[in-house]
Structure 1
Amino acid sequence: MNADAKEFQIPSNLNASTPPEKRGASRDRVRLMVMDRTTGKTIHGQFTDLASYLKPGDLLVMNNSRTIPSVLRGKQGTCNVEIRLSRQLSDRQWDALVLNGLCKIGEMLILENGITATIIGNGSERPLVRLLFSKGGVELFNMIFQFGEPIRYEYIDTTWPLETYQTVYATIPGSVEMASAGRAFSWRLINHLKKKGVQTTFLQLHAGLSYYGDDHWPTPSKHPEQFHISEQTTEIVNRTRKDGGRVIAVGTTVVRALESASDHKGQVTPQDRLTDLYIKEGYPLKVVDGLLTGFHEPEASHLHLLTAFIKKDYLLKSYHEALGHEYLWHEFGDMNLILPMENE
């Protein structure tokens, strides 16, 4: 995608730096661009009209992982350091990005409440390192939630509270970044969809860092993420497919989890494990029919995943159209629905 996407650049005025609620609207008052997977045709509308593009019996699968305040401040000797947690490995070990510090094995970082973190090795890929905290369990998480901050990338110039980085249905803490495709949902809209016969269910995939800084993005195959799919959710997904309904993932994290948990026939089973599945152009989707997501940078692996749903040419054409219509990018921005719509 990178070579084809050089012409695709996001003007700074289209980087959504402010949540809709702070722009005088509700969180579901964002725009929606709908793409037909088959023809590439686009429709421009509002997210509150989502039900008009779905049918009774369709299933929305949502990621209810809750965002933690994963940016910690500390000291390394006399130097201030910033730690961005990426993935929990055990009660006391995390993969993390350490900024402004010396990333050598044995180096100790001093945090709040008397807690320290020692660099004990390399993380799953560079520039991540493996940290061993001096405390675990409730003590460590209390420190994280008391002193940590949500990750804020350079296009956001205001400090927003942690609740700004949650979906309304987030319940299971673990993601270091918000599962942002679901942010635009309000309970009012979810209830409206249910009244129209659209089903909903949940899984958890704890999202790791999506960006390391300095134009460095994670390598998907070296970026495992923990996911959990319950027996109840697998039953709903499998029944929907059997009954001819469409399974629509709310976010790329949901696609990754569902496809990781399915066999070659698309039958999903309950699972609780890591996945390093990399979905890109040519990947044969077995479970998921449609995708609701935000708009992604050309370098991001999330954008590569979209080419498993729609031809690259159609995708790039639609993204240029979105730029022309001034859709907003990133977690506080507008939404994109990719669905098979032909002959409906």
Structure 2
Amino acid sequence: MTVEFTLPPSLEAHEPPEARGRARDGVRLLVSRRADGSVAHRAFRDLPSLLDPGDLLVVNTSATLPAAVRLDRISVHFSTPVPDAGNRMWLVELRRRTGKATRPYSGGCPGEWIPLPGGATLTLVRRRTKRLWEARLSTDVVPYLRRHGAPIRYGYVRRDWPAAAYQTAFAHDRSAGGAEMPSAARPFTPDLVTRLVSRGVLISPITLHTGVASPEAHEPPYTERYSVPEPTAALVEHVRARGARVIAVGTTAVRALETAVDAAGRVRASSGWTEHVVTPENGVRAVDGLLTGLHEPRSSHLMMLAAIAGRDLLAATYEAALAERYLWHEFGDLNLIM
């Protein structure tokens, strides 16, 4: 299920809001309510007033890796580890450098080795999808990326930004991380978190390390590492039992929570690798709302949004976002779906 629209380049956020003279939490917030089909325009700083005491925000604590290694003609985007294959075997995407942007690169063959900065070597093992390779680095991947990588940047972001621009207020544990930022949490600031807690809104963590996006192919998400800790699982069940709302901050938080739902519909502590894809057909059982960015036409994320909002409300939301010139992508505006 998709929402058909054309995204004009003028509505792509080309830089962080700080570069536009705003604070991190100075973005706009589109509020969509399924109960009455309404769509309202607010500021992200209004979030505490839109939630009730006892509501629970579930946030992703994944840090963002500098997952792009740039060579003269191509870039290597490190996505996720290959399950149970050690610290050196990862899925990677090869992308051709075209000026300041990159495009998918269809070259490469099994056994080919690619010299990387710092004396490392990447060996292509086999294709996993049309765009992703299983590849082996000659050293452990995460420490290598910390020394030689840069944040993944797509063509709509016109210049490099420091790694700190791609970290959220909830990120921790530099021993691991995701290829791309869990960007729905980016606008949260310490002041806003304090206001939420003062209002009685609860905040609890999950972790899901994201792989690379597919801005050209619009592929569904594939296997990703996640963890729903016991305190979070227990708090979700407590909040639901009291009739309050569980609101996921980002599609990654939805995926982790829905993976952790057992056969009886209860959220249980869980960790490992998830292949779960949320669609309108299978719906959601753990969440009552979603705070998310605005997603591209044909993006697989729109299936998840349709499962939560319903297609009619989702279509009305995106129509309003286009009409009022909201900004898309990781540095753009937000959408709260209740």
| TM-score bracket relative to the smaller structure | over 0.9
Q: CA deviation at 1:288?
A: 0.4
- Unaligned runs of 5+ residues in structure 1 are 340-344
Give matches, 1:214-233, under 5 Å: 215-220=216-221, 223-233=222-232
How far off is 1:65 after superposition?
0.2
Equivalent of 1:131 in 132, 135, 140: 135
The code of the aligned residue for 1:165 comes to Y
Q: After the TM superposition, which residues 152-167 of structure 1 pair with which residues of structure 2 at under 5 Å, given as runs?
A: 152-167=153-168
1:315 corresponding residue in structure 2: 314
Unaligned runs of 5+ in 2: 97-104
TM-score (norm 1): 0.91
Alignment counterpart, residue 81 of structure 2, candidates 60, 77, 88: 88
Aligned partner (choices 88, 93, 99) of residue 97 of structure 1: 93
For 1:61, which of 42, 46, 58 is the aligned residue?
A: 58
Q: 1:202 aligns with which of 185, 205, 210?
A: 205
Is 1:326 equivalent to 2:311 in the alignment? no
Of the structure 1 ranges 31-40 and 50-59, higher mean CA displacement relative to structure 2 is found in 31-40
Map 1:67-78 onto structure 2 (within 5 A).
67-74=64-71
Aligned to 2:30: 33
Counterpart of 2:16 (choices 14, 19, 23) is 19
Shift of 1:87: 0.7
Q: Does 1:46 align with 2:43?
A: yes
Q: Please give the alpha-carbon distance, in whole angstroms, between the structure 1 residues aligned to 2:156 and 2:80.
A: 23
Contact kept, 8 Å, 1:207 with 1:253, in 2: the verdict is: yes
**Using the alignment, how far apart are the partners of 1:254 and 1:97 within structure 2?**
24
Map of 1:342 onto structure 2 = none
Q: Report Cα offsets for 1:79-128 as digits up to 9, x if no partner.
A: 733101111123110001112463200000111222111011122x2210
The secondary structure found in structure 1 opposite 2:302 is helix
SS of the residue aligned with 1:296? coil
Match of 1:117 among 100, 113, 122: 122
Amino acid at match of 1:317: A
- Counterpart CA distance in 1 for 2:321 and 2:218 is 23
Q: Is the 8 A contact 1:87 1:96 kept in 2?
A: yes
Instruction: Report the equivalent of 2:101.
Output: none
User: Structure 2 CA distance, aligned partners of 1:36 and 1:282?
Assistant: 20
Residue 114 of structure 1 aligns to which amino acid in structure 2? G
Give the corresponding residue for 1:260: 259
2:283/2:308 contact within 8 Å kept: no
CA displacement at 1:143 relative to structure 2: 2.4
**Aligned pairs, number:** 324
Distance 2:200 2:6 in 1: 39
Per the TM alignment, residue 218 of structure 1 is displaced from its structure 2 partner at its CA by 2.1
Corresponding residue of 1:287: 286
> What do residues 296-319 of structure 1 show as CA deviations (whole Å, max 9, x unaligned)?
112111111100011212211221
Supply the distance in 2 between the matched residues of 1:38 and 1:160 (Cα, whole angstroms).
40
2:111 aligns to what? Answer: 106
> In 2, distance between residues paired with 1:113 and 1:19?
30
Pairwise CA RMSD of aligned residues? 1.4
In the alignment, the residues of structure 1 paired with residue 164 and residue 219 of structure 2 have an alpha-carbon distance, to the nearest angstrom, of: 26
The secondary structure found in structure 2 opposite 1:83 is: strand
- Percent identity, please: 40
What is the Cα deviation at residue 267 of structure 1?
1.2
**Residues in 2 aligned to 1:146 and 1:135: alpha-carbon distance in whole angstroms:** 12
- What TM-score, normalized by structure 2, do the two folds share? 0.92
1:171-250 aligned at under 5 Å gives the runs 171-172=172-173, 173-211=176-214, 215-220=216-221, 223-250=222-249
8 Å Cα contact 2:257-2:267 kept in structure 1:
yes
Residue identity opposite 2:22 in structure 1: A
1:265 Cα offset (Å)? 3.3
Q: Secondary structure at the match of 2:25?
A: coil
Letter in 2 for 1:92: R
Please give the alpha-carbon distance, in whole angstroms, between the structure 1 residues aligned to 2:48 and 2:281.
29
- 1:165-193 deviation digits (Å, cap 9, x = unpaired): 11011113311000001001001001100
Question: Residue 81 of structure 1 aligns to which amino acid in structure 2?
Answer: I
Amino acid of the residue matched to residue 32 of structure 1? L
Q: Is the 8 A contact 2:179 2:209 kept in 1?
A: yes
Given that residues 29 and 46 in structure 1 are in contact (C-alpha distance below 8 angstroms), is that contact kept between their aligned partners in structure 2? yes
